[in-house]
């Protein structure tokens, strides 16, 4: 090795055998610039080298799929000649180092992925994980939470895309490694989707957007390594977001896409200019030649290495038709943006980078993209499972179910997230049919009768206990949530958050979870159209819970029939669809009330889940459902209580069969494939009949009315308290958590 | 009857205002780009919400220098009905078409939620169809909606009946608890001396269809239609 020794390789996150491959594909030793380019393209983040063999097993095809994995985002047909374009992505590592900018630029990145496909972004969601808000790191966690929420709000609100929902969970293993997963959905004409291609030799390549600075260099490499106590030193690898610039880019790109001057476009996200040029070339089998002297620069004296690896935000790379340059430049000028002509498409399949005319890098695009290493890493079932899975249900001490319910309602994972979503503009664009906190996100599609429902779900605790079943439950819950809003699940995206894949135990979790996602998606006929993998989520050698997060998109045929969580008035019949079993393993109840994370998560029968989802969609479409709420975290008692909240104090009286010696299972078990719905008294028989025909167990368990929550198990009163008292606890818990007052911006 | 919706770079409620006017109200609407110098014969002008110029420097501070603002000012000077919503209100204050300023919310956080406002004055083009004291449910979505003016200006606004909308509870009581952002005197919206220029922080254009949570905002659009019908009749008489 010449200037490239082991220390250089290590700084670039490359293994010696990977370096050998580089030398082989080039037929010579790389320059430092070329090494940098290889290092980001072959990083875990860009190459999916550890995950690829597993991801290939996921179902990606379906009758509505217009675009599966491999492009900037996936797309499904939603009728009326329109497509829904959506994807979820993580920004975990940057959000821990710099919460506000990390989260903000995560939002910016996923929005660019959507509009590069030619879609107008219409909704955002997010899935967040933090450590506990109390305990030794509570104050720091609160600071991270505040920063992340402010960052998501700051970016999404400014750019004018509503954040219509999401989920947040608090668990100890996320203390040193929070998760920030952001989802975006846009709509486009189905016949006008734009691809990230570089076709047509001689066509000009344009750079548009913010100038390139030294920020974010090696961000993709950072996202592919574990954290330790020196991680704060990596702060310069976090980028700074400018939502105003992105708003201009968004409008200008959509205006350009209305015409036919554009060939292809890709945003410069992870690995920046390097990734955009090589991926666009590789998709088309073409080459791209650029001269970095034409790249707009924010700082002086930047080297080609720095320019190629910078991850400055709000930049796009475009290939346009030769001869249409003036038209393209004119559109960007209108929006006060400068489109810089940086190069051309060639026919040699090479990424050729020049600096003032002299070649500084020349690499086959194929080598960077298609020939990146793929590892089948060893897997091993972790030893901890043998310790945590056995769990003696009968040995749990008896507790007062009323106290247990109040404790659960105050748990940050279950408590109202109003403190968070009130900071998000969830109404801009006037499409939001379900206000934040009231169920799945639902936006209408103007100009049609239809609406789109969306939900992001995942449960790391379940996956810790059984990654395969936990992942299946995540798919089922997300699909059930959109069905509760009347949406037929038509597509999914996944964000796979795991620890260090070089450890066989982590790789086992990953393999199991992906297998579970595949199985559930196949059974529920929900294809995966894209997603993102985030590995190395560890701090000081401690991994997060394995956390696959699933985003499901549902199609609502009639936007005027969208049930929400809340009861609509007195005297309605409350019906439990699905069946409760004695399943306390892995539940929020077991954790919050008994301080244990143990057992196995609830069983899942995918045929039952599919039948329930179909029933919910049919009943919603028939206008039968006055309210519908998925029954999951906290079990039936929490679900019924949540249905009574935000109603102005409408109570409920229910009675459910006993399942064990104590009422805990009946009230707090998290059995899958269940939903609580309310219907007009006169329609109860109709719904029960529909359920029977669909093969879904269903029972009228009570009635809405009064001002109290009255829950009986096997005829014996278990919980009796005023709705207002319970709602007060649930509604203010997140604000009242310890650590709150220690934080001042 | 034609509405102009001004589009600044960074406007993001422009489509919402356009939709409400064109598709809900059923009137004519045009987007007018900020670099234009004419309002293309508009009868009503709306400065929409959003983050014009990213709200860098100060909210609404840079938009006042857009070429179109000269035309907007002369439209207002001629007595034309001009409505500034949210960022549009901030722009009106920066332009001095309305007095005062919008500061950061008192808890320093962005707020998005439905709030109640009371219609204090029904003699503006945008409230003439409302009942005095009528309580409207309208969404707010802002980080800087905390209305501030010096004591003399506030006294003058109150004395001359130029506080058009005030935050209140469901029963129409203007309490501190119903004030979402710390605005002085619970002010949600005001008008100029001539009463043709109205600015408010809540979003009436987001509250024009009941499936979205409220249709109370329509009264502002209905009012200006009625006002134009009356005034159009006066001019031609």
Q: Which of A335, A428, A433 sits opposite B141 (nearest CB)?
A: A428
Sign for the CA dihedral angle at A729, A734, A736, A737 comes to positive
Q: How distant is the alpha carbon of residue A168 from its chain centre?
A: 11
Task: Report the gap between the CA of B139 and the closest CA in chain A (Å).
Answer: 8
Structure tokens at A104: 């903000």
B139 touches chain A (CB under 8 A): yes
Q: How far apart are CA A235 and CA A398, in angstroms?
A: 49
Parallel, antiparallel or unpaired: strands A74-79 and A82-90: antiparallel
Q: Computed over its alpha carbons, how large is the radius of gyration of chain B?
A: 16
Q: Does A86 touch chain B (CB under 8 A)?
A: no
**Distance of residue A577 Cα from the nearest chain B Cα, in angstroms:** 27
- Say which residue the tokens 């019949």 belong to: A573
Nearest to B139 among A150, A335, A427 (CB): A427
Among the listed residues B93, B142, B205, B208, the single catalytic one is B205
Residue A39, pLDDT > 60, answer: yes
Q: How many contiguous H segments (helices) and E segments (strands) does chain B have?
A: 5, 11
What pLDDT sits at residue A234?
55
Q: How far is CA A745 from the centre of its chain?
A: 27
Sheet strands (E) in A445-568: 451-457, 488-497, 528-534, 538-539, 542-543, 547-556
Which of A111, A248, A425, A566 is best to mutate for the B interface (most B CBs within 10 A)?
A425
Is there a catalytic annotation at residue B203?
A: yes
- Tell me the nearest-neighbour CA distance from A428 into chain B, angstroms: 7
Confidence of residue A224 (pLDDT cuts 50, 70, 90): low
Q: Tokens for B215?
A: 């249709």
Q: Say whether B113 and A422 touch across the interface (CB within 8 A).
A: yes
What per-residue confidence (pLDDT) applies to B57? 81
* pLDDT for A400: 97
Q: Is A289 on the interface with B (CB under 8 A)?
A: no
Could you please report the per-residue DSSP string of A692-742?
A: HHHT--EEEEEEE-SSEEEEEETTEEEEEEEHHHHHHHHHHHHHHSTTGGG
- What mean pLDDT comes out for the span A528-549? 95
User: Is B142 an active-site residue?
Assistant: no
A560 touches chain B (CB under 8 A): yes
Compute the distance between CA of residue A140 and CA of residue A739 in angstroms, rounded to an integer: 8
Q: Which of A12, A91, A93, A629 is catalytic?
A: A91
The CA distance from A293 to the nearest CA of chain B, in Å, is 29
Q: Quick one: pLDDT at residue A233?
A: 55
Rounded CA-CA distance A452/A557 in Å is 9
Q: Please list every residue in chain A whose beta carbon sits closer than 8 Å to the beta carbon of residue B111.
A: 422-423
Among the listed residues B2, B30, B197, B179, the one whose alpha carbon sits nearest the alpha carbon of residue B105: B179
Which of B161-194 are b and which e, b meaning 16 or more Cβ less than 10 Å from the residue's Cβ? Answer: ebbbbbbbeeeeebeeebbbbbbbbbbbbbbbee
A233-289 residue pLDDT tens: 554 566 788 999 999 999 999 999 999 999 999 999 888 999 999 999 999 999 999
Q: Torsions phi, psi of A217, nearest 5?
A: -65, 130
Q: Does B8 touch chain A (CB under 8 A)?
A: no
Tell which B residues from 54 to 93 touch A, by Cβ distance under 8 Å.
Answer: 54-56
Measured CA to CA, the distance from residue A454 to residue A163 in angstroms comes to 11
Measure the CA dihedral A109/A120/A532/A361, to 10°: -60
Element (DSSP H or E) covering residue A477: helix A467-484
Please name the residue that has the structure tokens 């708003």.
A247
pLDDT at A490: 98
| CATH no. of B2-231 | 3.40.50.880
Q: Which residues contact A591 (CB under 8 A, 6 or more apart)?
A: A461, A597
Say if the Cβ atoms of B111 and A423 lie within 8 Å.
Answer: yes
Of A248, A335, A432, the CB nearest to B212: A432
pLDDT number for residue B194: 97
Strand-pair category, B187-191 with B163-168: antiparallel
User: Looking at the complex, does the CB of residue B22 fall below 8 Å from at least one CB of chain A?
Assistant: no
Taking Cα atoms as reference points, which of A664, A665, A667, A686 lies closest to residue A676?
Answer: A667
A616 touches A675 (CB < 8 A): yes
- The DSSP code sequence of A153-184 is HHHHHHHT--EEEEEEEE-GGGTTS-EEEEEE
3-state secondary structure of A293: helix
What residues in A contact B211, CB-CB < 8 Å?
433, 444, 559-560
pLDDT band at A641 (very low <50, low <70, confident <90, very high): very high
Q: How far is residue A91 from each of residues A158, A247, A570, measured CA to CA in Å?
A: 19, 20, 44
pLDDT surpasses 50 at A475: yes
Instruction: Determine how many CB atoms are found less than 10 A away from the CB of residue A716.
Output: 9
The pair of three-digit structure tokens given for residue A191, joined into one six-digit string: 């016949």
Q: Which residues is B168 bridged to in the sheet? A: B116
pLDDT at A314 over 60: yes
pLDDT greater than 70 at residue A742: no
Which percentage of chain A shows pLDDT scores above 90?
A: 90
Q: Where are the beta strands (DSSP E) in A315-407?
A: 315-320, 339-346, 350-355, 358-364
Q: What percent of chain A shows pLDDT beyond 70?
A: 96
Q: Which region holds residue A206: left if phi is over 0, alpha if psi is between -120 and 50, else beta?
A: beta
Q: Give pLDDT, residue A642.
A: 98
Q: Do A421 and B112 touch (CB under 8 A)?
A: yes
pLDDT-derived band at A216 (thresholds 50, 70, 90) equals: confident
Q: What is the DSSP string of A92-110?
A: HHHHHHSHHHHHHHHHHHH
pLDDT digits (tens, 9 = 90+) for A686-697: 999 999 999 999
A244/B56 touch (CB, cutoff 8 Å), yes or no: yes
8 Å CB contact between A533 and A51: yes
Q: Give the relative orientation of helices A32-41 and A16-26 as an angle to the nearest 10 degrees.
A: 110
Angle at the Cα of A477 (from A476 to A482), degrees rounded to 5?
A: 100
pLDDT at A269: 83
**pLDDT above 90: residue A57:** yes
Query: What are the C-alpha distances in Å from A185 to residues A167, A311, A456, A508, A651?
Result: 16, 23, 12, 31, 36
The helix/strand/coil state of A462 is helix
Tokens representing residue A379 in the block: 């897997």
Largest separation between any pair of C-alpha atoms in chain A: 85
**B212 and A560: CB-CB below 8 Å?**
no
A432 touches chain B (CB under 8 A): yes
Q: What is d(CA A420, CA B112) in angstroms, rounded to the nearest whole number?
A: 10
A408-432 pLDDT per residue, tens = 999 999 999 999 999 999 999 999 9
* Domain definitions of chain B by residue range: 2-231
- Quick check: is A45 catalytic? yes
d(CA B153, CA A562) in angstroms, rounded, equals: 47
Q: Which DSSP helix (H) or strand (E) runs through B85?
A: strand B82-85
* Contact call for B9 and A158, based on CB within 8 A: no
In this model, does residue A369 exceed pLDDT 50? Answer: yes
Per-residue pLDDT of chain B in tens (237 residues, 90 and over written 9)? 899 999 999 999 999 999 999 999 999 999 999 999 999 899 999 999 999 988 888 888 888 889 999 999 999 999 999 999 999 999 999 999 999 999 999 999 999 999 999 999 999 999 999 999 999 999 999 999 999 999 999 999 999 999 999 999 999 999 999 999 999 999 999 999 999 999 999 999 999 999 999 999 999 999 999 999 998 755 544
Q: Which residues in A lie closer than 8 A to residue B206 (C-beta atoms)?
A: 427-428, 430
pLDDT at position B53: 87
CA A652 to chain centre: 34
- Cβ proximity of A344 and A289 under 8 Å: yes
Alpha-carbon gap, residue A435 to A426, rounded angstroms: 7
- Set B13, B19, B86, B94: catalytic member: B86
Contact B141 A425 (CB under 8 A): yes
Interval A432-462: pLDDT, tens: 999 999 999 999 999 999 999 999 999 999 9
Interface check B161 vs A, CB under 8 A: no
CA distance B21 to B32: 14
Residue A271's pLDDT is what?
A: 86
- Look at residue A152 and tell me whether its pLDDT is greater than 70: yes
- Report chain B's terminal Cα–Cα distance, integer Å: 17
Q: pLDDT confidence of A745, banded at 50, 70, 90? A: very low
What is the rounded CA–CA span in Å between residue A87 and residue A65? Answer: 13
Closest CA to A489 of A515, A528, A431, A532: A528
User: Is A741 at the interface with chain B, CB within 8 A?
Assistant: no
* Mean pLDDT value across residues A48-53: 95
User: What is the value of pTM for the model shown?
Assistant: 0.95
Distances A208 to A72, A108, A318 between C-alpha atoms, Å: 17, 15, 8
Please give the biggest Cα pair distance in chain B: 52
Residues in B closer than 8 angstroms to A159, CB to CB, are 12, 51
What confidence score (pLDDT) does residue A736 get? 76
A157-206 pLDDT, tens per residue? Answer: 999 999 999 999 999 999 999 999 999 999 999 999 999 999 999 999 99
A745 or A494, higher pLDDT: A494
């Amino acid at each position: 090795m010449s200037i490239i020794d082991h220390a250089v390789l290590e700084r670039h996150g490359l293994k010696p055998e990977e370096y050998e491959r580089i030398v082989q594909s080039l037929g010579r030793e790389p320059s430092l610039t070329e090494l940098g380019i290889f290092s980001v393209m072959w990083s875990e983040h860009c190459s999916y080298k550890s995950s690829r063999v597993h991801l290939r097993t996921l179902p990606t095809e379906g009758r509505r799929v217009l675009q599966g994995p491999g492009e900037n985002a996936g797309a499904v047909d939603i009728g009326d000649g329109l497509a829904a374009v959506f994807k979820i992505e993580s920004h975990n590592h940057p959000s821990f180092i710099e919460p506000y900018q990390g989260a903000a630029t995560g939002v910016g990145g996923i929005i660019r992925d959507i509009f590069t496909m030619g879609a107008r972004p219409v909704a955002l969601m997010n899935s967040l994980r933090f450590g506990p808000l109390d305990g030794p790191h509570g104050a720091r966690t609160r600071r991270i939470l505040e920063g992340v929420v402010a960052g998501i709000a700051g970016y999404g609100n400014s750019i004018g895309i509503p954040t219509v929902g999401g989920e947040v969970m608090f668990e100890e293993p996320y203390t040193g490694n929070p998760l920030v997963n952001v989802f975006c959905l846009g709509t486009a004409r189905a016949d006008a989707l734009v691809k990230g291609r570089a076709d047509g030799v001689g066509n000009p390549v344009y750079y548009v957007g913010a100038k390139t600075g030294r920020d974010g260099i090696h961000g993709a490499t950072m996202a592919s390594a574990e954290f330790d106590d020196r991680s704060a030193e990596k702060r310069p690898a976090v980028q700074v977001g400018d939502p105003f610039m992105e708003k201009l880019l968004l409008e200008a790109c959509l205006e350009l896409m209305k015409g036919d001057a554009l060939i292809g476009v890709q945003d410069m996200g992870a690995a920046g200019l390097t990734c955009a040029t090589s991926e666009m070339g590789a998709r088309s089998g073409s080459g791209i030649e650029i001269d970095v002297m034409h790249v707009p620069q924010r700082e002086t004296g930047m080297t080609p290495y720095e320019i190629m690896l910078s991850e400055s935000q709000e930049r796009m790379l475009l290939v346009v038709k030769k001869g249409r340059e003036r038209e393209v430049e004119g559109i960007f000028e209108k929006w006060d943006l400068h489109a810089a002509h940086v190069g051309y498409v060639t026919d040699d399949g090479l990424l050729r980078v020049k600096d003032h005319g002299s070649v500084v890098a020349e690499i086959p695009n194929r080598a960077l993209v298609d020939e990146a290493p793929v590892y089948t890493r060893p897997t091993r079932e972790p030893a901890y499972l043998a310790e945590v899975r056995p769990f003696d249900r009968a040995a749990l001490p008896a507790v007062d179910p009323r106290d247990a319910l109040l404790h659960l309602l105050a748990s940050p994972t279950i408590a109202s997230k109003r403190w968070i979503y009130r900071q998000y503009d969830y109404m801009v664009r006037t499409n939001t049919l379900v206000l934040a906190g009231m169920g799945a996100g639902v936006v209408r599609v103007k100009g049609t009768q239809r609406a789109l429902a969306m939900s992001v779900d995942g449960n790391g605790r379940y996956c810790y206990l059984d990654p395969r079943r936990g992942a299946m439950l995540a798919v089922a819950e997300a699909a059930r949530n959109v069905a509760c809003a009347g949406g037929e699940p038509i597509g999914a995206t996944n964000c796979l958050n795991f620890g260090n894949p070089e450890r066989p135990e982590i790789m086992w979790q990953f393999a199991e979870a992906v297998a579970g996602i595949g199985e559930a998606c196949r059974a529920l006929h929900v294809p995966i159209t894209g997603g993102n993998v985030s590995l190395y989520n560890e701090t000081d050698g401690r991994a997060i819970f394995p956390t696959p997060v699933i985003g499901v998109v549902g199609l609502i045929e009639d936007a005027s029939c969208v049930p929400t969580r809340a009861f609509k008035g007195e005297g309605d019949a409350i019906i439990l669809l699905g069946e409760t079993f004695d399943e306390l393993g892995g539940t929020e109840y077991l954790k919050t009330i008994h301080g244990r994370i143990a057992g196995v998560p609830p069983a899942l029968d995918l045929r039952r889940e599919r039948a329930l989802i179909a029933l919910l969609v049919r009943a919603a479409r028939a206008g039968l459902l006055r309210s519908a709420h998925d029954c999951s975290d906290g079990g039936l008692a929490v679900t019924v209580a949540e249905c009574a909240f935000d109603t102005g104090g409408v109570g409920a009286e229910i009675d459910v069969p006993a399942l064990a010696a104590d009422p805990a299972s009946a009230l707090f078990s998290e059995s899958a494939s269940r939903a609580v719905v309310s219907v007009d008294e006169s329609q109860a028989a109709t719904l029960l009949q529909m359920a029977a025909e669909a093969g879904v167990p269903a029972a009228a368990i009570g009635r809405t009315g009064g001002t109290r929550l009255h829950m009986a198990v096997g005829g014996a009163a278990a919980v009796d308290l005023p709705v207002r008292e319970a709602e007060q606890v649930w509604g203010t818990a997140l604000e009242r958590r310890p650590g709150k007052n220690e934080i001042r911006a | 009857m034609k509405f102009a919706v001004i589009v600044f770079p960074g406007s993001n409620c422009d489509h919402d205002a356009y939709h409400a006017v064109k598709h809900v109200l059923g009137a004519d609407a045009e987007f007018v780009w900020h670099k234009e110098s004419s309002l293309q014969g508009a009868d009503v002008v709306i400065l929409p919400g959003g983050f014009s110029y990213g709200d860098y420097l100060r909210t609404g501070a840079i938009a006042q220098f857009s070429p179109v603002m000269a035309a907007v000012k002369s439209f207002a000077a001629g007595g034309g009905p001009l409505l500034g919503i949210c960022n549009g209100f901030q722009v009106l204050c920066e332009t001095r078409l309305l007095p005062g300023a919008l500061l950061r919310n008192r808890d320093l956080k962005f707020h998005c939620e439905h709030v109640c406002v009371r219609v204090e004055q029904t003699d503006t083009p945008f409230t003439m169809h409302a009942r005095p004291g009528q309580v409207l449910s309208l969404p707010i979505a802002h980080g800087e909606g905390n209305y501030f003016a010096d004591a003399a200006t506030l006294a003058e606004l109150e004395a001359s009946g130029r506080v058009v909308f005030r935050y209140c509870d469901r029963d129409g009581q203007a309490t501190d608890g119903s004030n979402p952002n710390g605005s002085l005197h619970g002010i949600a919206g005001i008008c100029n001396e001539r009463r043709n220029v109205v600015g408010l922080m809540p979003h009436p254009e987001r509250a024009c269809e009941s499936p979205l949570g409220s249709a109370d905002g329509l009264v502002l659009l209905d009012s200006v239609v009625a006002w134009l019908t009356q005034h159009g009749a006066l001019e031609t008489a």
